Amino acid sequence: MSSSAGAAADALTYEQSPLTIDSLPRELAPGLFGVRFALPFALDHVNVWMIADDDGWTLIDAGLADQRTRDRWQELASFMAARPVRRVLATHFHPDHMGLAGWWCERSGAELWTSRTEWLQARALALDTSEGFVAAGRQFDHRAGLSVEQADERAARGNLYRPRVSVPPASFRNVREGDRLTLGGARWQVLIGRGHAPEMLCLYCADRKLLIAADQVLPRISPNVGVWPGEPEADPLAEFLASLAVLRQLPDDCLVLPSHGQPFRGLHTRIDQLVDHHRLRLAATLDACRDRATIVEVMPKLFERQLDRHQIGFALGETLAHLNLLVGQGTIIRSLDDDGRLRFQTR
């Protein structure tokens, strides 16, 4: 989904590229266009990439499944008219990326290209109307330390994923780590980013020194790395940091095309900032567990600002991500108490 504001913006030493992305398609490399779509969230836009191929367009992400985004695609129809949309390569299952992939596939006969885990996750969530889904969320909230009222209010929202996506197609093409794709006459290497999403696709073009980074490396904001009710003992932060270490092997002077914010150079600096950001938060998390604490009690040590209802879910998940990494390292202990709350304490 969206990403939490986090890393300080005052220490930027990476450079924004003069190639800015706006609501009109902008050619960033031969046949590769970037266009910005508005989002109705605190994170108010997402970038979509369009690659012109001989046989048609390849869209990299499709935007949120809301009327505003559909209208915007209609407005782009004349720009796109010379070619049909042949494939939608969805970087990951979050609604601002996968949202209209199914819609495009249905209306243009395009294929969906994504990783197997992102496809499975998107299909499962888009179709999940089960009571078990809500119950898992309620149990997660209770264990975290939320009140019954807060948990009820969140449960009443049901599955928020479903209304934000068109159902992804029942068949797709699996894009795997290390695959080489030829798109728009250029060769792209597939890299996988984990932690923000389970198996997110990033694409690197060595010839053009371009990195389509999806949400793995963003300028200005730290990608949300959260634990969700579906897998409460997951350790996405360890996966996220391991993925950053892999991406850091790419050349520092490549142009990074992020899904949110503007293109920039200085990949290594930005990755180092993101790693530092999590190191500081891990230290704060450890400190908060000197006395036994619930997730809700640890959360304000990591998120000092007031959080609205939408942000609480992200903040809880991100707090638990830091706790679970420390549990995995053996520096804190997790226990489930008789009151049904999880508590964490340093060893």
61 contributes a contact to Zn ion by CB under 5 A: no
Q: Site for Zn ion (CB under 5 A): how many residues? A: 3
CB atoms within 10 A of CB 112: 24
Query: Cβ 156 to Zn ion, closest distance in Å?
Result: 25
CA distance 52 to 33: 8
φ/ψ bin of 221: left (φ > 0), alpha (ψ from -120 to 50), beta (otherwise): beta
Q: C-beta of 197: minimal distance to Zn ion in Å?
A: 9
Stretch that binds Zn ion, among 95-103, 117-125, 201-209, 306-314 (CB under 5 A): 95-103
Toward Zn ion, which CB reaches closer, 58 or 259?
259
- The pair of structure tokens assigned to 31 is 């046949």
Q: Does 96 bind Zn ion (CB under 5 A)?
A: yes
Choice between 260 and 278, CB closer to Zn ion: 260
Instruction: Tell me the closest approach of the beta carbon of residue 200 to Zn ion, in angstroms.
Output: 10
If the CB atoms of residues 215 and 318 are measured against Zn ion, the closer one turns out to be: 215
Applying CB under 5 A, the span of 15-23, 164-172, 209-217, 320-328 interacting with Zn ion comes to 209-217
Nearer to Zn ion, 72 or 341 (CB): 72
- Using CB under 5 A as the binding rule, the residues of this chain from 246 to 305 that contact Zn ion are 259
- Rounded to a whole number of angstroms, the minimum distance from the CB of residue 42 to Zn ion is 12
Euclidean distance between CA atoms 263 and 34, whole angstroms: 10
Q: What is the distance between the alpha carbons of residues 278 and 253, in angstroms, rounded to a whole number?
A: 24
CB of 205 to Zn ion, least distance (A): 21
Tell me whether residue 32 or residue 90 sits nearer to Zn ion (CB atom). 90
As measured in angstroms, the least distance from the Cβ of 75 to Zn ion is 22
In the bound complex, which residue of the shown chain has the CB atom lying closest to Zn ion?
215
| Complex with Zn ion: residue 66 or 215, whichever CB lies closer | 215
Cα 91 to Cα 308: distance, rounded to the nearest angstrom: 28
Q: Which two tokens stand for residue 307?
A: 């959080």
Residue 8: which residues within 8 A CB-CB, separation 6 or more?
A: 277
By beta-carbon proximity to Zn ion, the closer residue of 96 and 239 is: 96
**Residue 118 interacts with Zn ion (CB under 5 A): yes or no:** no
The counts of H helices and E strands in the chain are 11, 16
The 210-229 contact track toward Zn ion, x by CB under 5 A, reads -----x--------------
Which span sits near Zn ion by CB under 5 A: 94-102, 195-203, 303-311, 335-343? 94-102
In DSSP notation, 235-292 reads -HHHHHHHHHHHHTTS-TTSEEEESSS--EE-HHHHHHHHHHHHHHHHHHHHHHTSS-
CB-wise, 166 or 259, nearer to Zn ion?
259
Binding mask 1-30 for Zn ion (x = CB under 5 A): ------------------------------
**Residue 135 contacts by C-beta under 8 Å, 6 or more apart in sequence?**
none
Q: CA 177, CA 52: separation in Å to the nearest integer?
A: 23
Q: How many residues does the chain have?
A: 347
Output the smallest distance, CB 103 to Zn ion, in A. Answer: 18
Q: 3-state class of 328 per DSSP?
A: helix
Residues 202, 213 contacting (CB under 8 angstroms): yes
Q: Between 96 and 118, name the residue whose CB sits nearer to Zn ion.
A: 96
| Cβ contact 187:178 at 8 Å | no
> Which residues of the shown chain bind Zn ion in the complex (CB under 5 A)?
96, 215, 259
